[in-house]
């Protein structure tokens, strides 16, 4: 079985090709700058000999051209991993917003396409681009079953007290204004890995998962199901992020409009692109901010204190919701790579049974890395996320069910 996973963005397509029951990664790549100057495909082949990288520069005016180039690379003599595009059995598409329609992975039909399009106002930067990838893949990989895996699906198990905002009912009932949550595929993937490490079925574990990447969110997982998460109606609230503010008092927006005469567009930019670590420390990359803090930059220290304070605050909140917690999981770029952020995020949580081992915390996670002290009641795990593998596995399971 060959499963191609596609993450189609507005000007890029990321892809990975998995082969066989063991989900062996055989090719991966990125079509970038679609519709722009300097468009190209960065293609990587994986085999026993290691990695081989190929760069193809070409005008790529649209997604159709981009994905056709990928199909050509996958079948090109000398590079071929398949003989013909028809050998792709299934394409698993990452779709950001599934609204209340999709709590599970689905085979894509006209109804699903209609729903993804209808949900575009809820994710205007993502759903139209995801849909474009689906429409193009249907034309190129004509023998493949097309499957949609939604970022929001895992959080559809939130109870109403967690997903409703205290706003007039009409806004939920007629306009769908509620918490949806995001990064669901990642939270689910690391939850399954954590359950396996704990040697328990997923349905028997309580977890707090922290996906700390450029975008960041946490989830409270009770008996394997998401019961609360820090992102909301959009991916803006919750934790402090690279350039996003996370939680703020919504009345700040009125103040900015009325007193600073900012337009809605400018406020949108401010909260999504100019805030977070960038707004406080002048840099959105945690590596750089840590480096600057070590050289005595007070703003960098403040930014990191704010960043980790908020993680601790949500750990406490989620402990209160969950009662017993089996494990706290760190994942994504920051969570997997920054011992400093992990240590600061656990500081002072000893009374809650969360005790980090400083030496273990310095190691690099290849697989599941336990970093808690022996006497810690809650396991603390670093787990590299793999959203594409999760999409491939869900695609496979829908095909074989």
Q: How far is the CB of 82 from ligand AMP (least distance, A)?
A: 28
Q: Which residue has the tokens 């600061």?
A: 344
285 included as an active-site residue = no
Residue 132: partners with Cβ closer than 8 Å, 6 or more residues away: 8, 63
128: number of CA atoms within 13 Å, CB side?
Answer: 7
Following CA atoms 264, 235, 389, 70 in sequence, which dihedral angle do they give, to the nearest 10 degrees? 0
Using CB under 6 A, list all residues that contact ligand AMP: 213-214, 242, 285-287, 332-334, 337-338
By C-beta, is 60 or 341 nearer to ligand AMP? 341
Strand segments (E) across 20-78: 24-32, 40-47, 50-57
By C-beta, is 108 or 368 nearer to ligand AMP? 368
Spatial contact of 68 and 106, defined as CB atoms under 8 Å apart = no
Spatial contact of 204 and 232, defined as CB atoms under 8 Å apart = no
Minimal CB distance to ligand AMP: which residue? 333
Spatial contact of 331 and 385, defined as CB atoms under 8 Å apart = yes
By C-beta, is 342 or 372 nearer to ligand AMP? 342
Q: Identify the active-site residue in 62, 151, 324, 367.
A: 151
Would you list the DSSP string of 256-267?
HHHHS---HHHH
Q: Phi then psi for 222, rounded to 5 degrees? A: -110, 125
By C-beta, is 156 or 331 nearer to ligand AMP? 331
Q: How far is the CB of 364 from ligand AMP (least distance, A)?
A: 9
By C-beta, is 147 or 290 nearer to ligand AMP? 290
Question: Measured over all CA atoms, what is the biggest interatomic distance in the chain, rounded to whole angstroms?
Answer: 63
Spatial contact of 166 and 250, defined as CB atoms under 8 Å apart = no
Q: How far is the CB of 151 from ligand AMP (least distance, A)?
A: 14
> How many Å from the N-terminal Cα to the C-terminal Cα in the chain?
15
Q: How far is the CB of 107 from ligand AMP (least distance, A)?
A: 29
Q: How far is the CB of 367 from ligand AMP (least distance, A)?
A: 17
- Give the active site residues: 151
């Amino acid at each position: 079985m060959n499963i191609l996973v596609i993450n189609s963005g507005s000007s890029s397509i990321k892809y990975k090709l998995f082969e066989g029951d063991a989900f062996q990664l055989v090719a991966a790549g990125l079509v970038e700058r679609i519709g722009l100057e300097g468009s190209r495909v960065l293609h990587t082949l994986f085999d026993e000999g290691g990695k081989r990288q190929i760069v193809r520069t070409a005008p790529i005016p649209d997604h159709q051209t981009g994905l056709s180039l990928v199909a050509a690379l996958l079948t090109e003599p000398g590079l071929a991993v398949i003989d013909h595009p028809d050998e792709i059995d299934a394409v698993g598409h990452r779709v950001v917003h599934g609204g209340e329609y999709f709590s599970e992975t689905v085979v894509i039909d006209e109804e699903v396409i209609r729903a993804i399009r209808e949900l575009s106002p809820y994710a205007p930067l993502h759903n139209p681009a995801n849909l474009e990838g689906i429409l193009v893949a249907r034309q190129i990989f004509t023998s493949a079953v097309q499957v949609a895996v939604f970022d929001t699906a895992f959080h559809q198990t939130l109870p109403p007290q967690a997903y409703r905002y205290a706003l007039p009912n009409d806004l939920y009932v007629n306009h769908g204004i509620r918490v949806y949550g995001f990064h669901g595929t990642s939270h689910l993937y690391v939850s399954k890995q954590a359950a396996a490490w704990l040697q328990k079925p997923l349905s028997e574990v309580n977890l707090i998962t922290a996906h700390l990447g450029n975008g960041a969110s946490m989830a409270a997982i009770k008996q394997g199901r998401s019961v609360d998460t820090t992102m909301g109606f959009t991916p803006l609230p919750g934790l402090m992020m690279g350039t996003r503010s996370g939680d703020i008092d919504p009345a700040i927006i009125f103040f900015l409009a009325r007193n600073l005469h900012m337009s809605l567009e400018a406020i949108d930019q401010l909260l999504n692109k100019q805030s977070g670590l960038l707004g406080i420390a002048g840099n959105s990359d945690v590596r750089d901010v840590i480096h600057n803090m070590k050289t005595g930059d007070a703003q960098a220290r403040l930014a990191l204190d704010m960043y980790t304070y908020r993680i601790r605050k949500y750990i406490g909140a989620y402990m209160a919701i969950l009662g017993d917690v089996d494990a706290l999981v760190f994942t994504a770029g920051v969570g997997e790579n920054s011992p400093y952020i992990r240590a600061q995020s656990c500081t002072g949580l000893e009374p809650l049974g969360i005790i980090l081992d400083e030496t273990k915390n310095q190691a690099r996670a290849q697989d599941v890395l336990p970093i808690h002290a022996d006497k810690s009641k809650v396991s603390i795990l670093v787990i590299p996320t793999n959203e594409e593998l999760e999409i491939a596995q869900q695609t496979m399971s829908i095909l074989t069910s």
